[in-house]
Amino acid sequence: MARNAKLKMLRYQPNPNFLFNTLNAVLALIMMNDTHRTNSMIMR
């Protein structure tokens, strides 16, 4: 039971690479002044 809880907890932790790449993509859109695509990406 404790093992299942631990596995479930690990499954729901965010992937740091995914988070970093997403924030970099948002930053790039902001720097290009592409407000429409920036808003679209943030709202997903």
In a domain, 4, yes or no: no
pLDDT of residue 7: 85
In a domain, 34, yes or no: yes
CB 41 within 8 A of CB 26: yes
Phi, psi angles (nearest 5°) of residue 4: -65, -40
Query: For the chain, how many structural domains are there in total?
Result: 1
In a domain, 9, yes or no: no
pLDDT of residue 3: 87
In a domain, 37, yes or no: yes
How many angstroms separate the most distant Cα atoms in the chain?
Answer: 50
pTM for the model: 0.64
Q: What is the pLDDT of residues 1-44, one digit of tens each?
A: 788 888 888 888 888 899 999 999 999 999 999 999 999 989 98
In a domain, 3, yes or no: no
In a domain, 1, yes or no: no
Q: Which amino acid is at 31?
A: M
In a domain, 44, yes or no: yes
**Domain region containing 33:** 14-44
pLDDT of residue 1: 74
